[in-house]
A and B are shown apart, each in its own frame.
Chain A
């Protein structure tokens, strides 16, 4: 057996170029088929796990796919945000703790997620460095966001302007980085978390400015003044950074019950409460839809898997053509090596020995191709994001 390995190894080494082409030619289709299927399975598993960890998602009327992707992956915008009054009504049912999400802004292109501290407890997100959100204007960064932004506790992160052409609109705010979360292998790693009130600050619904109700306010800053109301213009300079000196001047405009949240994660203590809560919002006239996230994600995956079937058929054809190509190469190779085989026979090797030799050479080539493909798959999985 040792001599057989020796001869097979020497033979492959003698035809290095040919061996390398064979190994590469086999490794590429193996890599493509296994890597694509592996990644699809991994993302599918990741999607399902995220959905399982978030049994219910609530939001305004609109596409259920948009709402679930928005609430679970902080992607896109929802057309009809809910109001805080909806959140309060949901809490009053006693069936669930509604955790608000307000995802509308970005900071250096990372989604800014406005929520309450309950979100971190719900997702079991722990602060790895620094501290948790403390007050208006604070943010905590997901692990990947912090690494890419190269920011840590004490750093300042400006939010992206909402509309460059709306001078009277909301201004970018310099967020203070309070802490960095441990990596969770979920979309939370690439998010910038702020308190819900900070999200409203970014909306322009909350802001800080000098007192304009006093009699010494510059007339140029005011549009109108009556005995009971002062109408300030857009010229009133608003604070773009929350500091210990100005935090007391920040205030909300409008009725707090009307403040927006883009989605809600209702956390029910048990399945019965979840069912009862969903029952409350089943009426056709309800302006709140509550979705079972897993069902929506599976529906979405069903659509994706239909496309995957095409790729599976493609992979099968590639495998067949590669196999045929390999057989052709082996047959041609044997024809070229007929003299070599004849020499082996004449020096006393049995016919079966030459067959085993060729078989072992092919086995070694296939093994090397598998190793190369495996290495490629491992590198791909290590580099690809986990979700």
Chain B
């Protein structure tokens, strides 16, 4: 009888131990340098210059794709999810973010502070259904960094974010921020110098991506919607000729050199194509500043050569 009671006691003790056990996973193991992921090349460049070895900066978009219309793979999304800092250009640049799960804590929108200065395309067709009213898909000019003054502000946001995640070398970060600001202001100075040469001269653009430059430096710019790697259809030529009748530009800014047939068509009309890379992705040679200086040099030469 006593033995049975003891066995019953063990059974009760065993059942009592079957209760749920709250599991608490270990905290994330300590890592090396803070990881920074940028969605555009200018932001990656700014972060790289500012961090200078104090953070691991990556820009995962492939070199042959437009980061504004690229969709990252699952592995790249996981890379973004694990970053300590995710730098967004904002202004609807990185559309993939709208359909991707990212943590909020490391997200930094570098252009939201000047939202009121974003350029909206007036010609975009909106649509509406449901109670929320009209909307369109992508009616914001997201090339904010092309305006060096806005780029300085975006760089300042990047510096502030880096200060939070890698605060060790505050003096160094402040020094590098000052240097980068001077470099960007130098771009602004060069573009201002270019201003008088372009003032009063109608300019053409192959794509509506130079709005911020045109606004800052008062360029008289009209844009079409042509792709550098696609031929121009007869209807597009007709529309172009109609446009030129009211806006007789002789310089046409392109993101990349147009196809030879398109360049020939432009030459027939007395229009000279000028490559001004937006640098949303890595330039073929050099870095962001080198590419922008090259853009300005090419435009300056074209403006000097033309009538």
Closest to B17 in A: A378
Q: Does B65 contact A (CB under 8 A)?
A: no
Q: Which of B1-28 contact A (CB under 8 A)?
A: 1-2, 5, 8-9, 11-12, 15-16, 18-25, 27
A118 to B15, CA, bound (A): 37
Chain B interface size, under 10 / 10 to 19 / 20 to 34 / 35 or more: 35 or more
User: Are A117 and B19 within 8 A (Cβ)?
Assistant: no
Q: Does B165 contact A (CB under 8 A)?
A: no
User: Are B21 and A185 within 8 A (Cβ)?
Assistant: yes
A99 to B128, CA, bound (A): 30
Q: Does A151 contact B (CB under 8 A)?
A: no
User: Are A133 and B125 within 8 A (Cβ)?
Assistant: no
Contact of A378 among B12, B27, B95 (CB under 8 A): B12
Q: Which of B239-261 contact A (CB under 8 A)?
A: none
A207 to B128, CA, bound (A): 12
User: Are B22 and A386 within 8 A (Cβ)?
Assistant: yes
A212 to B71, CA, bound (A): 22
Q: Does A106 contact B (CB under 8 A)?
A: no
Given contacts A182-B23, A378-B12, contact A134 B129 (CB under 8 A): no
Given contacts A117-B101, A374-B12, contact A134 B77 (CB under 8 A): yes
User: Are B127 and A205 within 8 A (Cβ)?
Assistant: no
User: Are A9 and B1 within 8 A (Cβ)?
Assistant: yes
Q: Per-position contact with A for B19-47: 1 when CB-CB < 8 Å, else 0? A: 11111110100000000000000000000
CB distance from A266 to the nearest CB of B (A): 12
Q: Does B171 contact A (CB under 8 A)?
A: no
Residues of A within 8 A of B134 (CB): 229, 231
User: Are A184 and B22 within 8 A (Cβ)?
Assistant: yes
Residues of A within 8 A of B135 (CB): 251-254
A135 to B81, CA, bound (A): 11
Q: Does A204 contact B (CB under 8 A)?
A: yes
Given contacts A232-B129, A367-B5, contact A135 B25 (CB under 8 A): no
Contact of A133 among B101, B123, B132 (CB under 8 A): B101
Given contacts A121-B103, A134-B77, contact A375 B125 (CB under 8 A): no
CB distance from A62 to the nearest CB of B (A): 23
Q: Does A48 contact B (CB under 8 A)?
A: no
A236 to B20, CA, bound (A): 49
User: Are B23 and A184 within 8 A (Cβ)?
Assistant: yes
Q: Which of B92-107 contact A (CB under 8 A)?
A: 95, 98-105
Contact of B101 among A116, A168, A231, A377 (CB under 8 A): A116
User: Are B101 and A138 within 8 A (Cβ)?
Assistant: yes
Contact of A371 among B9, B74, B103, B136 (CB under 8 A): B9
A97 to B104, CA, bound (A): 8
Residues of B within 8 A of A232 (CB): 127-129
User: Are B127 and A118 within 8 A (Cβ)?
Assistant: no
Q: Does B126 contact A (CB under 8 A)?
A: yes
Q: Per-position contact with B for A354-375: 1 when CB-CB < 8 Å, else 0? A: 0000000000100110010011
Q: Does B234 contact A (CB under 8 A)?
A: no
Given contacts A231-B128, A233-B129, contact A118 B81 (CB under 8 A): no
User: Are B9 and A197 within 8 A (Cβ)?
Assistant: no
Interface secondary structure of A, over-half rule: mixed
Residues of A within 8 A of B98 (CB): 197, 250-252
CB distance from B235 to the nearest CB of A (A): 14
User: Are A371 and B100 within 8 A (Cβ)?
Assistant: no
Chain A interface size, under 10 / 10 to 19 / 20 to 34 / 35 or more: 35 or more
User: Are A374 and B101 within 8 A (Cβ)?
Assistant: no
Q: Does B133 contact A (CB under 8 A)?
A: yes
Q: Does B284 contact A (CB under 8 A)?
A: no
Residue of B12, B24, B123, B135 with most chain A CB atoms under a 10 A cut-off:
B12
User: Are A234 and B8 within 8 A (Cβ)?
Assistant: no
Closest to A135 in B: B100
Residues of A within 8 A of B2 (CB): 5
Residues of B within 8 A of A230 (CB): 125-128
Q: Per-position contact with B for A235-254: 1 when CB-CB < 8 Å, else 0? A: 01000001000011011111
Residues of A within 8 A of B9 (CB): 371
User: Are A247 and B99 within 8 A (Cβ)?
Assistant: yes
Residues of A within 8 A of B105 (CB): 97, 118, 121
A156 to B81, CA, bound (A): 23
Q: Per-position contact with B for A107-140: 1 when CB-CB < 8 Å, else 0? A: 0000000001110010010100001111110100
CB distance from A1 to the nearest CB of B (A): 11
User: Are B21 and A248 within 8 A (Cβ)?
Assistant: no
Residues of A within 8 A of B133 (CB): 253-254
CB distance from B185 to the nearest CB of A (A): 28
Residues of B within 8 A of A231 (CB): 127-129, 134
Q: Does B286 contact A (CB under 8 A)?
A: no
User: Are B19 and A382 within 8 A (Cβ)?
Assistant: yes
CB distance from B10 to the nearest CB of A (A): 10
User: Are A248 and B71 within 8 A (Cβ)?
Assistant: yes
CB distance from B24 to the nearest CB of A (A): 6
User: Are B125 and A229 within 8 A (Cβ)?
Assistant: yes
Residues of B within 8 A of A233 (CB): 129
Q: Does A381 contact B (CB under 8 A)?
A: yes
Q: Per-position contact with B for A5-23: 1 when CB-CB < 8 Å, else 0? A: 1000100110000000000
Closest to A383 in B: B18
CB distance from A6 to the nearest CB of B (A): 9
Q: Does A86 contact B (CB under 8 A)?
A: no
Closest to B128 in A: A231
Q: Per-position contact with A for B220-251: 1 when CB-CB < 8 Å, else 0? A: 00000000000000000000000000000000
List 13 A–B pairs whose Cβ atoms lie within 8 Å, in order of A's numbering. Answer: A100-B104, A116-B103, A117-B103, A135-B100, A136-B100, A183-B20, A195-B101, A205-B130, A232-B127, A234-B129, A253-B132, A371-B8, A375-B8
A136-B100, A138-B101, A375-B8 given; name 5 further pairs at CB < 8 Å: A116-B104, A135-B99, A213-B136, A232-B129, A251-B135
Nearest 9 A/B pairs, CB to CB: A254-B132, A378-B15, A253-B132, A117-B103, A133-B101, A232-B129, A185-B22, A230-B127, A9-B1
List the interface of chain A (C-beta within 8 A of B). Answer: 5, 9, 12-13, 97, 99-100, 116-118, 121, 124, 126, 131-136, 138, 168, 182-186, 195, 197, 204-205, 207, 212-213, 223, 227-234, 236, 242, 247-248, 250-254, 364, 367-368, 371, 374-375, 377-379, 381-382, 386
